[in-house]
Amino acid sequence: MNFLENEFFLLAITFGIFFLAKLLQKKTGIMLLNPILLTIALLIIFLKMTNISYDTYNKGGHLIEFWLKPAVVALGVPLYLQLETIKKQLLPILLSQLAGCIVGVISVVLIAKLMGASDEIIYSLAPKSVTTPIAMEVTKSIGGIPALTAAVVVCVGLLGGILGFKTMKLTHIGSPMAQGLSLGAAAHAVGTSTAMDISSKYGAFASLGLTLNGIFTALLTPTILRFLGLL
């Protein structure tokens, strides 16, 4: 059974499950069968059944993490192709992302407060809509729990990836720019990945939404919490 713990075997299993999950969603068209969600669930079941620890699995997982940085940089290509449109709409884009950041932070912290969450939990939830590295740094700076933030960020991303476009369809938001920006701002990298599956144009604006919301959230979260009397 030692081959099960081989990092390259675990890497192959990860890619294989994700590939099959992508095919399944493409064949069925069911948004709930999100490839990332299915891959996470099936990998957890696999690791539990084979008694492989997360640390052992991560020996192969770190090889995937290595490609995250160039993948993020690669998002700049479709963004560059939309540069002229972005220049023309720069002010509305900035204002919409600023509004999205403020509403996103205020809504989650007030709901958590009304439900009796402790300050530490509230601080951990505040940066829920930005990509994990930024969210964890924001949480550390305000006294939250980075591990909890990471888990919440993943859940928010999956929820946005599954329901984001369906929700915008119900609310009659048809503009590729508006849809992309909304999904990137609300569901960070997972939302951007979902948008990229539709077209590079959607993906470009989603990556812009991800970036701007990350910057605004990192800069404004402590100020918003102080304004609400929570910090």
Task: DSSP letter for 5, please.
Answer: G
Do the domain assignments include residue 71?
A: no
Q: What pLDDT, on a 0 to 100 scale, did the predictor assign at position 126?
A: 93
Q: Would residue 143 be called left, alpha or beta, if left means φ above 0 and alpha means ψ between -120 and 50 degrees?
A: left
DSSP type of residue 172? T
pLDDT digits (tens, 9 = 90+) for 72-91: 777 778 888 888 889 999 99
**Residue 227, pLDDT score:** 92
pLDDT at 98: 95
Single residue among 66, 98, 117 that ends a domain in this structure: 66
Give the whole-angstrom CA distance, residue 84 versus residue 90: 10
| Residues 62 and 86 placed together within one structural domain of the fold | no
Q: Provide the 3-class DSSP secondary structure of residue 81.
A: helix
Confidence of residue 1 (pLDDT cuts 50, 70, 90): low
* Number of domains forming the structure of the chain: 2
Confidence at residue 224, expressed as pLDDT on a 0 to 100 scale = 93
Same domain (yes/no): 95, 7: no
Instruction: Give the pLDDT of residue 66.
Output: 74
Q: Is residue 6 part of a domain?
A: yes
Q: Domain of 53?
A: 2-66
Domain end, chosen from 66, 86, 103, is at 66
**pLDDT-above-90 percentage for the chain:** 42
Mean pLDDT over 202-210 rounds to: 90
